[in-house]
Amino acid sequence: MNAESGQKPETEELFDRLVEEYQLPLKRLCFMYLRDLSLAEDAVQETFLKVYRSMEGFRAESTAKTWIMKIAVNTCRDMLHSAWMRHHDRRTVPEEMQIAAEEDPDAEDARALGKAILDLPSRYKDVILLYYYQDMSQEEIAEILRTSASTVSRRLKRAQERLRNMLEGGREDE
Amino acid sequence: MNNEKFRKQVHRAVEKVSPAMKSDPFLAQKLRVRARENEEKTLKRRVSAGAVILTAFVVISMGVGIAAVSGWDVMQFLYGDRTAQQIPEIDVFPIRQEVSGDGALFRVDSAVYDGKYLAFDWHFENTEPETPICGYIQKLTANGIPVAGDGGESFEFLWLPSKYIESNFWQNGASVVLPADLAGTETVHIDMLVKVYRPTCAVYEMEKFNMEEAVRKTEEGYFVITEDEGFFGYDPYEEQWTVSYGIENSDGRLRETALEISFDVPKGENSDRVLKPLPVYETEHGTASYDVAAVTAGGLHLTLRLHPDDVALNGIRELILTDGDGSALQGDRFAPDVALRLDSADPGTVIFRYRWSDIRPKDLPDTVSLTCVLEDGTRLLFPVAVR
């Protein structure tokens, strides 16, 4: 037993492993929500602090990845809600990003898709990022978003429609 | 769309729009220390924050007719029932504007604006709930420039009322980061266009989507709503009837109404206070400068950039917030919420980013410093004038 924290050493080892394994994927996920690397780093720290504080209560009813992603998504949403008070506007606009000399003809398409994902409303961004980027199942996503797998499936479909419309030149009704 | 192909495209797209990132090998260690240090502080803060939130809502609801009725305003949008974080001092500006048409009502009660960020609440209601409606914010401009909200829980194509949302209203708000051209503008003029859609024929709401039932009910002349969002419509891309979301699939069975609302939001007095550090601090161990030095509604922000000349400045024992004489500022609120050491792209440069969320200008002495304490106990001060 670690006298200082009251947590078992194996819990701390598990925490170290989780941080090592999920730090970068989480940072990318949080960046896609917050569009700012510094804020994404804050969100990752906040997520892992919540993970650390609740590790004793983690009952492995879901996978560690599902559990951590759920905390991260909620942390990002929370930060987005209070985004107005983060006065340092460091949010990255894709147009402003440094683009390396593009030799790959698909690079511009990838960048356009990335920008479209950034611009999705969050409930569609949720499912696209968790399903296609974090490679989670629809059931796992349903657990994270506290909804049904059928709703996740529908949102995925709709999100793809939205992306297709956005990439084809904007919303159909504008 | 081929799933695996699209998965690869999404991976590539995310990497394309993300900056280069690397792991911090000491993150777990740092977080464990922070978690232990903040454990007691967090508990204390939770208790005090509850009282502050209660006070804030009492003050705001007084004399605000619409907010008193709905209980929904910009402070609730921004802070909700959160208790773990103190509500900062914010000037809330009453808007109290509403527009209505075809049984739909859209209302904005209040807003806050600090020169860079603007937030407001909204309330969307179906006043003729016997037929459900849906809608979305099609246009949101600040001084004529399109701006995006935070992309949060949009109400688009969620049916009001429905099995998913039993009430006939949906409340939320928007957080807007103003374009650089508008930053600092004394008053921001907001224009919004909300599109509302109401079925023109009888509605049949399915609890769980069933293709046969959907086809049958559609043939009987019903507009079939499928669970919480979407409807049964003809998809011109897929060339088949399916669960649809875009109005182009509605085949003319949705009546559109445009609601326009405009309002001005003046800049609050409690906005950024940018501090005035020296351009460069010279020490016997190297130079330093502040990237960020500001007190905002979100607390005190100091980001210090160090250019060490020798190993002494690399051997920093800790960084503390002190007054101009190097005396540590005491109290819970002076424990940082963010304490990051960042590697710079510039070799030999170290960046420390600190934030204290609970600090307000009145809490600070005339001069503060993010002070480096070296291994031998030497304190290197980098004073910034607050007043």
- Chain segment A108-136, per-residue pLDDT in tens: 888 889 988 988 877 788 899 999 999 89
| A90 pLDDT more than 80 | no
Which among A155, A94, A90 is positioned nearest to A122, based on CA atoms?
A155
Give one word for A65, left, alpha or beta, with left for phi > 0 and alpha for psi -120 to 50.
Answer: alpha
Which among B151, B149, B246, B238 is positioned nearest to B197, based on CA atoms?
B246
Per-residue pLDDT at B48:
29
CA distance A62 to chain B (A): 22
**Contact flag A28-B21 (C-beta cutoff 8 Å):** yes
First-last CA distance in chain A = 62
**Whole-angstrom distance, CA of residue B387 vs CA of residue B385:** 6
Average pLDDT on B99-119 reads 89
Topology annotation, domain B36-200+253-266: Immunoglobulin-like (2.60.40)
| B24 pLDDT more than 90 | no
Mean pLDDT, chain A, as a whole number? 74
B-chain residues within 8 Å CB-CB of A82? 78-79, 175, 298
**Contact flag A113-B9 (C-beta cutoff 8 Å):** yes
**Contact flag B10-A117 (C-beta cutoff 8 Å):** yes
A-chain residues within 8 Å CB-CB of B228? 151
Tokens of B177: 């980061």
Q: Which CATH architecture has domain B273-385?
A: Sandwich (2.60)
Radius of gyration for the alpha carbons in chain B, expressed in angstroms and rounded:
27
B-chain residues within 8 Å CB-CB of A45? 27, 31, 34, 338, 340
CB-based contacts of B26: which residues, under 8 Å, 6+ apart? none
Q: For Cα atoms A168, A174, B2, give the angle at the middle one, nearest 5 degrees.
A: 30
| The two domains B36-200+253-266 and B273-385 share their CATH topology (first three levels equal) | yes
**Whole-angstrom distance, CA of residue B202 vs CA of residue B376:** 80
**Whole-angstrom distance, CA of residue B173 vs CA of residue A84:** 12
DSSP string, A54-65: TGGG--SSS-HH
**Contact flag B9-A92 (C-beta cutoff 8 Å):** no
User: Per-domain residue ranges for chain B?
Assistant: 36-200+253-266, 203-249, 273-385
CB-based contacts of B142: which residues, under 8 Å, 6+ apart? B118, B176, B178, B179, B182, B188, B189, B190
**Whole-angstrom distance, CA of residue B125 vs CA of residue B384:** 50
C-alpha distance from residue B337 to each of A43, A79, B34, B218, B244 (Å): 12, 14, 9, 56, 45
**Contact flag A88-B301 (C-beta cutoff 8 Å):** yes
- pLDDT confidence band for B370 (50 / 70 / 90): very high
Percent of chain B with pLDDT over 90: 24
Question: Cβ(A140)–Cβ(A73) under 8 Å?
Answer: no
- Closest by Cβ to B245, choosing from A85, A118, A158: A158
**Contact flag A24-B23 (C-beta cutoff 8 Å):** yes
- Closest by Cβ to B16, choosing from A107, A132, A150: A107
More confident residue, B88 or A28: A28
Domains and CATH numbers, chain A: 1-92 (1.10.1740.10), 96-174 (1.10.10.10)
Percent of chain B with pLDDT over 70: 76
CA distance B378 to chain A (A): 28
**Contact flag A86-B9 (C-beta cutoff 8 Å):** no
3-state per-residue secondary structure call for A141-171? HHHHHCCCHHHHHHHHHHHHHHHHHHHCCCC
Contacts 24+ apart (CB under 8 A), A147-151: A150/B208, A150/B209, A150/B227, A151/B227, A151/B228
Place of tokens 């909804």: A147
Mean pLDDT, chain B, as a whole number? 77
At B209-223, the pLDDT tens digits run 788 898 999 999 999
At B333-355, the pLDDT tens digits run 788 877 777 766 677 788 888 88
Per-residue pLDDT at A91:
42
Per-residue pLDDT at B166:
75
How long a stretch of residues is chain B? Answer: 387
Question: Cβ(B143)–Cβ(B98) under 8 Å?
Answer: no
* Amino acid identity at A125: K
DSSP string, B290-313: EEEEEEETTEEEEEEEEEESSGGG
**Contact flag A85-B296 (C-beta cutoff 8 Å):** yes
At B153-183, the pLDDT tens digits run 345 567 888 876 778 888 878 877 677 778 7
| B70 pLDDT more than 80 | no
C-alpha distance from residue B375 to each of B288, B314, B328, B378 (Å): 18, 9, 17, 7
| B62 pLDDT more than 90 | no
**Whole-angstrom distance, CA of residue B30 vs CA of residue B342:** 13
Chain B, 112-171: which have a CB under 8 Å from a chain A CB? 112, 114-119, 138, 148, 150-154, 156
Question: Cβ(B241)–Cβ(B221) under 8 Å?
Answer: no
Omega cis (within 30) before A9:
no
Compare all CA atoms of chain B with the CA of A96 and give the residue at the minimum distance. Answer: B17
More confident residue, B294 or B49: B294
- pLDDT confidence band for B67 (50 / 70 / 90): very low
Chain A, 16-75: which have a CB under 8 Å from a chain B CB? 16, 19-20, 23-24, 27-28, 31-32, 37-38, 41-42, 44-45, 48-49, 52-53
Task: Select from B16, B36, B154, B273 the residue whose CB has the most chain A CBs within 10 Å, as the one to mutate to test that interface.
Answer: B16
Q: For Cα atoms B387, B116, B337, give the angle at the middle one, nearest 5 degrees.
A: 65
Per-residue pLDDT at B87:
52
Per-residue pLDDT at A173:
36
Per-residue pLDDT at B382:
95
Per-residue pLDDT at B236:
67
Q: Does A90 touch chain B (CB under 8 A)?
A: no
At B275-324, the pLDDT tens digits run 778 889 998 888 999 988 887 656 788 889 888 887 666 678 888 999 99
Size of interface A-B (CB pairs under 8 A): 198
More confident residue, A46 or A95: A46
DSSP SS3 for B271 = coil
* CA B380 distance to own-chain centroid: 36
**Whole-angstrom distance, CA of residue B261 vs CA of residue B106:** 8
B-chain residues within 8 Å CB-CB of A174? 138
**Contact flag A123-B237 (C-beta cutoff 8 Å):** no
- pLDDT confidence band for B229 (50 / 70 / 90): low
CA distance B91 to chain A (A): 12
Per-residue pLDDT at B318:
84
**Whole-angstrom distance, CA of residue B236 vs CA of residue B249:** 7
**Contact flag B14-A77 (C-beta cutoff 8 Å):** no
